[in-house]
Structure 1
């Protein structure tokens, strides 16, 4: 499904359902601030199936990501995947790297029709990854299951968090993503919510240089590259093309197929309790699937319609000539300012027509960066 072929005001490119917040890991960046035990108010199996049936109303092959916490905590996970496939949904999964992630469960998910497996790797070595994830053995287990998924023919996606701590790992991680045969590297630029508030983000100028490096990787590697909560990657790519720089043509998993997608516009998130957010990193509810159809919430709620209109953006983002392809991270704007329509503080670009005062930089530019040139 190509975003340019669908009306993003009518359906999301991707819908994420956080099936639980329970997880054994204590990852430093955890948005959910996950806990070991399941919440008693989670959507039940029956409610989950009703949700998936409603999601199918968006249209054929709607992309659904089951996330957490750790989705494998739920004993009905395979049943939910199978049911979603039966509804015509493209079902994908982002499990945690715990002991529950085994070749056997991957086999069950493959048999149920899982379309993609997304695994998080935040360090190129066991020492770095396990320390970040708070679980000895997580790296070894994750890599082993990644290889098994490829053997089973399940396309593999690797997710990586970018912050001050993980920045030096990126070059070796790119090699690992290649070695694992992944089809996509999804690079998440830290939004300080949940446990992620204790981590140091990279500074804005460094973020642009990282994105320029990611563009190089997209040219040279066999896998696609996308960013999460960093849509100004599209601005960096557009500037490179405008400057005559050779940029790899867009493929099914690259930047060209995600132009303009951001929180609330081509993206929606359903929490474990059924609340609907524009993003898991923008915890402002537009309603509950227990009270209102997910289709109605996505298409008609004030929050989603406001976020979809780039004319509503404020500050630098509102004046930016790239706002149509970028639009800034609405989640990061909210995390730092309390207003999801404010400027994204991670973007260093100053629009040529912006005549207002430059916002105070809320991300510390003065910190020592371990990956400085």
Structure 2
């Protein structure tokens, strides 16, 4: 069979600063499968070796991409998993989304399937960015965390193949007690791999991640300050995932937390949290505010993606920063931060509660602390 010709990628998306997050997400993640060869300690999806029999089919996936296009041209879509490469129709879905004017990006797992040839096929299909995960700066530390020998080398090889193909690379790193000391060496590796963005994810205890130990709020604050310093001189952008108080730290350090290099192709913006500029569709079609906040606004198998994002009570409540409770609710930074709604939900079953990882206490606040809420005191 002749190879597919390279797809015409959408040249640009909407201005991130101009996106009304009550009307459309900055990013929509579709978990195309939960199947994966790896058994990572932190896996949100609690991934399994085999594909789930009730995954969205190819035709259902294309209908989902059609619905996503209704948000407007240039909508950013991340195909996630599990390992998206476990789906044999992945290239077909990427090509279809690209043909519909969507900006298609991908977060594959670092397995033997992620060969340089595969990377080039994904680029030809229209992928605009490849995001790979490095949670340790050496084969020993990364492979232990990922539960698979060879994952580090395969991930680095894929990142270099993407660079050779002219495909922008994003590096994702999980921060927990097991990985936090690796961050300085990882910063150097992100630079060496010519990544355009380092996305630093602060652990939320869901899926297999429940067995891992989070860092303390004080340690998280010091990591944020360090990341803010890194962002001053790094040739790549720095963002945090499920730690929006990085924006507060950056503002306090007189830094702009929304910047990233022009070659990024996606851009950044402030104020994105679960349900507010962010949406997640599960492998079976459930719409969640985030993959780390598994509270459903309903199934999109038969339509309704746009309406549910805009009009569901769950999503509307998450966009109302004045409805937040505890110290998040009175914090002067709540409109640029808002706290991790996913972590609040994981600890308290209340997505509007305070983020227990944030050490900042607003001046004059004397109410319950997140540790009190989490413990039920």
User: TM-score interval w.r.t. the shorter chain?
Assistant: over 0.9
CA distance in 2, matches of 1:29, 1:174: 20
Structure 1 residue ranges, 4+ long, deviating more than 2 angstroms after superposition: 246-254, 357-364
User: Secondary structure, in 3 states, of the residue corresponding to 2:70?
Assistant: helix
Describe the shift of the 1:342–1:247 C-alpha distance in structure 2 as closer, same or farther (beyond 3 A).
closer
CA contact (8 A) 1:320 1:353 kept: no
1:230-249 to 2 correspondences below 5 Å: 230-241=243-254
Deviation at 1:290, TM superposition (A): 1.5
1:127-206 to 2 correspondences below 5 Å: 127-206=140-219
- Residues 271-304 of structure 1: CA deviation (Å, up to 9, x unaligned): 0000000000000000100244211111111100
* Equivalence for 2:259: 250
CA distance in 2, matches of 1:249, 1:226: 8
Deviation at 1:355, TM superposition (A): 3.5
1:182-331 to 2 correspondences below 5 Å: 182-241=195-254, 250-251=259-260, 257-331=268-342
Worse-matched range after superposition: 293-302 or 40-49: 293-302
Describe the shift of the 1:339–1:167 C-alpha distance in structure 2 as closer, same or farther (beyond 3 A).
same
CA distance in 2, matches of 1:235, 1:198: 29
- Residues 84-116 of structure 1: CA deviation (Å, up to 9, x unaligned): 000000000000011111111111111111100
- Residues 304-330 of structure 1: CA deviation (Å, up to 9, x unaligned): 001001111000100100000000000
- Residues 28-74 of structure 1: CA deviation (Å, up to 9, x unaligned): 00000000000000000000000001101111110000000000000
CA distance in 2, matches of 1:180, 1:362: 42
Deviation at 1:75, TM superposition (A): 0.2
- Residues 126-157 of structure 1: CA deviation (Å, up to 9, x unaligned): 00000000000000011011001001000000
CA contact (8 A) 1:264 1:279 kept: yes
Deviation at 1:362, TM superposition (A): 7.5
Deviation at 1:354, TM superposition (A): 2.2
CA distance in 2, matches of 1:132, 1:2: 37
Describe the shift of the 1:249–1:117 C-alpha distance in structure 2 as closer, same or farther (beyond 3 A).
closer
* Equivalence for 1:4: 17
CA distance in 1, matches of 2:203, 2:140: 21
* Equivalence for 2:371: 360
* Equivalence for 2:4: none
CA contact (8 A) 2:44 2:207 kept: yes
Deviation at 1:258, TM superposition (A): 2.4
CA distance in 2, matches of 1:258, 1:249: 5
Deviation at 1:261, TM superposition (A): 0.5
Deviation at 1:363, TM superposition (A): 8.4
CA distance in 2, matches of 1:290, 1:302: 19
User: Secondary structure, in 3 states, of the residue corresponding to 1:158?
Assistant: strand
User: Secondary structure, in 3 states, of the residue corresponding to 2:371?
Assistant: coil
* Equivalence for 2:71: 58
Describe the shift of the 1:50–1:258 C-alpha distance in structure 2 as closer, same or farther (beyond 3 A).
same
* Equivalence for 2:112: 99
CA contact (8 A) 1:16 1:66 kept: yes
Deviation at 1:199, TM superposition (A): 0.5
TM-score after normalising by structure 2: 0.92
